[in-house]
Chains A and B, each alone.
Chain A
Amino acid sequence: MSLAIPNGLDNTVERPGERAPLVLGNTNYHDITESVCQVAERKPSAGWVGGFLVAFALLQMLGLLIVYLIYTGVGVWGNRAPIFWGWPIVNFVFWVGIGHAGTLISAILYLFRQEWRTSINRAAEAMTIFAVACAGTFPGIHVGRAWLAFWLAPYPSLNLWMWPQFRSPLLWDVFAVSTYGTVSLLFWYMGMVPDLATFRDRSKNKYRRMIYGLLCLGWSGSSRHWMRYEKAYAILAALAAPLVLSVHTIVSFDFAVSQVPGWHTTIFPPYFVAGAIFSGFAMVLTLMIPARSMLNLEKLITIRHLENMCKIILATGSLVGLAYGTEFFIAWYGQVPAEQFAFINRAFGPYWWAYWTMVSCNVISPQLFWFKKCRTTPWIIVVVCIFVNIGMWFERFVITITSLSRDYLPSAWAYFSPTWVDWGMLIGSFGLFFTLFLLFCRTLPVINMAEVKSSLAKQHHMAHAAAEHGEAEH
């Protein structure tokens, strides 16, 4: 099975009794340090500069649009009765979903001792945080009076003695997303401390040394530091693991707790979480595949890593497909006319195009990953993953907008059309995401060097043991 993988870089073949290597080539510890540090230390490439300028321009656009929005009123979006929630909520849920892969990779896979997470977890965590930042932009500006959005936070107010409505899922959302953002950020930063120390030690100018020195909190690499680091990391992983499941569960409550037909379903929490992991992994792959070739990291982020993620995408994509089917089944089985209508309307109503875009992107396209060739050919993976990203955006569009556009009373039905501000904000949120991601590539260690080195050590150890074993047998 040579496929398109260059010689010596194929680690996707399973050999019973032997662990597949996760670091390829004759890579030693120093090579790992070199290949990760060069990403941030060399002069920025033209591609990076160009990409950054575009992303930054889009971010500026987002900023200006937010100013325009707050100055004029939320009517600048396409939201109109009965579609009171439009693209901003679609974007919010989309970005929160994207933010799920990072913590899943770093916390849950860590607790399950999945060694292959080591070379991808850092970038995935960074992505999580940037995606949560994008997501966090929307709810705050989505409210009619953004200057009072702080009323969502429970703080004692002496002249009212009033609290926010704790029975409202919107308030749960504030807690869920902000907790998730905080824990992810801490987890990401904690894991980065040893690598920041490496950056500090390699830096050639005073300011870099100072900044990385402050950031790595005086890391000296002593055994005591390592022991405490490992402990803290395990604790944070254990804390973060349930959050992976809780965040999108609670985001789904925004919909599930309401009584809009098409929203009011108990399947939403698992369905949303599966969808979130699905879209998160798709986004990780979409970014990681171009990045690994542009930053020369093929030996660390191997085809096996990509293949494993493709398998997760296949699994979660099929789960999402099952959820789509289940929704229809329950709508029929539940015999609630409004519910039945909501689902028939989704598939065959005025938004049929959105529904079938969603189904073909989310359910059909990942089925390609049943074929090993598709799981191991980077360009096919990227194409499928982009489809998945589009499909998952449409999933949120379908849920939010088709359900609202036609609920109980036909007299209140309407068709949603986005405005240029809707488009601008969607594109601008990508600008925010890529600005942060590109800055991250240039300033922080994109791969968890310390952990990759430890898995390399295990790899060497095992190879060594196997060789000894072989000798003994002869």
Chain B
Amino acid sequence: MAYNRCIGTRYCANNCPVKVRRFNYFNYNAEVGVGYGVEAFPSAIEKANRKLQALVLNPEVTVRGRGVMEKCTYCVQRVEKAKIHARKEGRKIEDGDVITACQAACSTNAIDFGNISDEESVVAKKHADTRAYGMLEQLNIKPRTMYLARVRNPHPRLKTTQQIEDLATIEAHHGHGGHGEGDGHDEHAADAHGEAAHNDSAHSDEHHGEEQHAE
């Protein structure tokens, strides 16, 4: 997001089918030293306690002011940092260079993040997995975030008709064109990015515990 260009028509949020966008309806940073109008003048901000409070803000990210839209940026500040770091070392970005905040916080390691245009990366492999699915893919929104369907392994006799059919479809699919499924996903990834050659990165989540619509 280029927050400084956003005037807050909120049209993007209306159109977002997954409704991940959030809007700054008010100035939510008044307590941490971000002011508007008269409050914006340094004399008001420079008070010591406000300067101290402002330390909670990440200096690598723009403070979102009132009236702008925001969403998860996949920790773009960490992505850019990792890319620049890799450039200094004269190499391409690798798995583990970017650890997003959610990934760092997730105690069950359910989240992977990496470069989908690099076929050897963990995310690219997981995107190619038959279990991988994107949310609302039918809308052609080409989501970069993919989920892995829950794995179930019931006793064959306890399988529902649906499960048997699904399994048959998956196996037929696999037998058909080898890595057909996987290639399809890679193409998606490259499309969504456009700049596949330049160390761009992507994201994949994996939800083990949750009920997924795999059946």
Contact = CB atoms under 8 A, between A and B. Distances in A.
Given A73-B66, A144-B10, A144-B66, A81 B19 contact: yes
Nearest to A257: B15
B6 interface: yes
B25 interface: yes
Interface in B53-80: 65-69
B15 A74 contact: no
A168 B11 contact: yes
A409 B18 contact: yes
Contacts of B14: 84-85, 258, 260, 404
B17 A259 contact: yes
Interface in A70-128: 71-75, 79-82, 84-85
Contacts of B136: 408-409
Contacts of A79: 10, 23, 25
Contacts of A407: 17, 19
A144 B23 CA distance: 9
A145 B19 contact: no
Q: Which of A74, A146, A258 neighbours the largest number of chain B CB atoms within 10 Å of its CB?
A: A74
Given A144-B67, A145-B68, A259 B7 contact: no
A412 interface: yes
B64 to A, nearest CB: 10
Nearest to B8: A144
Given A81-B19, A144-B6, A144-B69, A75 B11 contact: no
B37 A81 contact: no
Interface string B86-108: 00000000000000000000000
A142 B9 contact: yes
B39 to A, nearest CB: 11
Contacts of B65: 145
Nearest to A403: B14
Interface stretch (A6-14, A49-57, A148-156): A148-156
Q: Which of B8, B68, B69 neighbours the largest number of chain A CB atoms within 10 Å of its CB?
A: B8
A170 interface: yes
Given A258-B15, A404-B14, A74 B25 contact: yes
B37 to A, nearest CB: 7
B110 interface: no
A82 B66 CA distance: 18
A143 interface: yes
A408 B14 CA distance: 11
B8 A409 contact: no
Contact of B19 (A71, A85, A149, A409): A409
Nearest to B17: A408
Q: Interface extent on A, as a size class?
A: 20 to 34
Contacts of A81: 13, 19, 21-23
Interface string B134-151: 011001000000000000
A145 B13 contact: no
Interface in A154-206: 162, 168, 170
A260 to B, nearest CB: 6
B212 interface: no
A76 to B, nearest CB: 8
Contacts of A409: 17-19, 135-136
A88 B182 CA distance: 47
Contact of B67 (A73, A85, A151, A258): A73
A72 B7 contact: no
A144 B11 contact: no
Contacts of B11: 84, 168, 170, 254, 258
B19 A74 contact: no
A165 B178 CA distance: 43
B24 interface: yes
Contacts of B23: 79, 81, 84, 144
B67 A145 contact: yes
B7 A144 contact: yes
B160 interface: no
B15 A259 contact: yes
A180 B18 CA distance: 36
A72 B30 CA distance: 12
A82 B9 contact: no
A143 B25 contact: no
Contacts of B25: 73-75, 79-80, 144
B13 A143 contact: no
A148 B17 contact: no
Contacts of B22: 81
Contacts of B139: 259, 408
Interface in A376-415: 404, 407-409, 412
Contacts of B69: 144
A143 B25 CA distance: 10
20 contacts: A71-B37, A73-B24, A73-B26, A73-B66, A79-B10, A81-B13, A81-B19, A81-B21, A81-B22, A82-B19, A144-B66, A144-B67, A145-B6, A148-B7, A258-B14, A258-B15, A408-B136, A408-B139, A412-B18, A412-B19
The 9 closest A-B pairs by CB, nearest first: A144-B8, A144-B67, A75-B25, A412-B19, A145-B67, A84-B10, A73-B26, A84-B13, A75-B26
